[in-house]
Amino acid sequence: MSLRVLVACKRVVDFAVKPRVNATQTAVDTKTVKHSMNPFDEIAVEEAVKLKEAKQAASIVAVSCGPAKCQEVLRTALAMGADSAVHVECEDDGNGLLQPLAVAKLLQKTAEKEKADLIILGKQAIDDDASQTGQMLAGLLKWPQATFASKVEILESGKKVQVTREIDGGMETVSAPLPAVITADLRLNEPRYATLPNIMKAKKKPLSKLTPADLGVDIKPRIETLKVAEPPVRQGGRIVESVDELVTLLKKDGVV
């Protein structure tokens, strides 16, 4: 099969980091904290690699949009099994400049350039939790979309894809002709570790660089962030002496 799969990989603040709002309350402080690939995007990469191992995909290109450090997550994707990588370099002002619509447009142009037949993204990024890029991308490309996938099957020798998605109250199975956009849910697979030899081999795989200008995309933010604040500190509770006291207090506060 000759499917070309494109996977999007976002560099995000590592899941284990306790996020802090910056001093000017414009964004989360990202300066000195550990970053890694968005975990949902890792699942997307794993799915693409599985498709390739099952000989259902011919090649995988990993794409990341953002500052120079994004190349680190692309190297991870290459070490996991992507064949090539594209870095769309965008300045990072630390204020969440690159918004989902801009990324969707960059991915649209990159997908056209790379002649992708299937695009897999994480269902959302763990930093802003927007869950918009995949949907917008499908809209821009006018391709069908299957979001929150927990199972992906390629049918009719690469003409069709069948996706099981988790919805409230059960599973929904949808199918779409290719090309299509899929976003990966948590239970789609368990991403592999890159092995030491594959990390070494990843160095030799092609990584090309583009700019938004190369792709003719205007990445100016369309949404203005007014203020970013930490959630209010939880007020401490108190221990009551008896059930009667509890009921009295609850009644007093109008809860019961």
The correct pick among 17, 174, 199, 228 for binding other proteins (CB under 8 A) is 199
Closer to other proteins by Cβ: residue 72 or 230: 72
Question: In the bound complex, what is the minimum distance in angstroms from residue 201's beta carbon to other proteins?
Answer: 11
Q: CA–CA separation, 215 vs 58, rounded Å?
A: 25
Scan residues 133-192 and list those touching other proteins (CB under 8 A).
Answer: none
Give the burial class of 21: count Cβ atoms within 10 A of its Cβ; 0-12 exposed, 13-18 middle, 19 or more buried: middle
Q: What is the DSSP letter of 188?
A: G
* Binding flag, residue 215, other proteins (CB under 8 A): no
Least distance to other proteins from the beta carbon of 151, Å?
24
Q: Shortest distance, CB of residue 190 to other proteins, whole angstroms?
A: 10
Kindly state whether residue 197 participates in binding other proteins, applying the rule CB under 8 A. yes
Pairing assessment for the beta strands 160-167 and 170-177 based on DSSP bridges: antiparallel
90, 66 contact by CB (below 8 A): yes
Return the number of the residue (157 or 195) whose C-beta is nearest other proteins: 195
Binding pattern to other proteins, positions 36-65, x when CB under 8 A? x-----------------------------
Residue 200 makes contact with other proteins by CB under 8 A? yes
Rounded to whole angstroms, what are the CA distances from 245 to 180, 216, 237, 253?
60, 68, 14, 12
Among 55, 193, 241, 242, binds other proteins (CB under 8 A): 193
Q: Which of positions 77-116 make contact with other proteins (CB under 8 A)?
A: 79
Pick the stretch among 22-30, 48-56, 71-79, 242-250 that binds other proteins (CB under 8 A). Answer: 71-79
Residue 44 in contact with residue 156, Cβ under 8 Å? Answer: no
Which residues have CB under 8 Å from 99's CB, separation 6+?
221, 222, 223
Total residues in contact with other proteins, by rule CB under 8 A: 13
DSSP 8-class letter at 25: S
The residue among 16 and 213 lying less far from other proteins, judged by its C-beta, is 16
Q: Report CA-CA distances (Å) from 198 to 9, 60, 70, 79, 194.
A: 18, 15, 19, 5, 6
Asked if 33 is part of the footprint of other proteins (rule: CB under 8 A), the reply reads no
From the centroid of its chain, how far is CA 206?
Answer: 22
Q: What are phi and psi of 236, to 5 degrees?
A: -65, 145
Q: Closest CB to other proteins among 195 and 248?
A: 195
What is the four-CA torsion angle of 135, 139, 144, 150, rounded to 10 degrees? -10
72 binds other proteins (CB under 8 A): yes
- From candidates 76, 110, 147, 183, binder to other proteins by CB under 8 A: 76
Contact pick of 20, 187, 203, 222 for other proteins (by CB under 8 A): 203
Chain contacts with other proteins (rule: CB under 8 A):
36, 72, 75-76, 79, 193-197, 199-200, 203
